[in-house]
Amino acid sequence: MQSLITGIAHVGIRVAELERSRHFYSLLGFEFVAGPLGSEPVAILGHAAGIEINLILNAQREREHNILMEEPVKHAGYTHIALACRDIEAARASLEAAGVTISGGPITFPNGHRAIFVRDPDRNVIELNQG
C-alpha cells in the first residue's frame, strides 16, 4: 500500500513572546509569513528550504527549564527538531557571533552525520545536523 504521508507540513513550537522568537528563528534563516492568527494564537515562519514553523504564542512567560528534556522523570512528547545543515562549523560560528549559546556538540553520529544543539528563547531544543 502506498503511503498517504508525503512530508512534514509544519512544526508547531510553543513560545512566550513573538518578537524574541522571531529574532532567534531569523538567525536560522526563517522569515515571518503571517500572524498572530486564530484563538491560540499562531504566527507562521517560513524557510527557503521549504520548512514551515508555527509559533504557538501561549507559553508561560517565565520558564526555567524544558519539561521534556530537564526533568528527572521523563515525560512523553517531542524533544527536539533536527534541521539539515550544510556546514555545522559555519552555523556554530554564526550563532555564537549572534550571542546564541551552543547547548550541545558538535557530536558525530555513527552514520557520520555531525550535529550541534541550541535552545530557542523558551528552551526548545533545535538540532542542526550536517549529513
Chain position carrying cell 512528547: 77
3-state secondary structure 3-62: CCCCCCCCEEEECCCHHHHHHHHHHCCCEEEEEEECCCCEEEEECCCCCEEEEECCCCCC
Predicted pLDDT at 5: 87
How big is the CA angle at 12 (ends 3 and 125), to the nearest 5 degrees? 105
> Is residue 96 scored above 90 in pLDDT?
yes
CATH architecture of 11-130: Roll (3.10)
pTM tops 0.85, yes or no: yes
**Tens-place pLDDT, residues 99-123:** 999 999 999 999 999 999 999 999 8
Please state the domain extents for the chain: 11-130
pLDDT tens-digit series, residues 51-81: 999 999 988 776 566 665 566 776 677 889 9
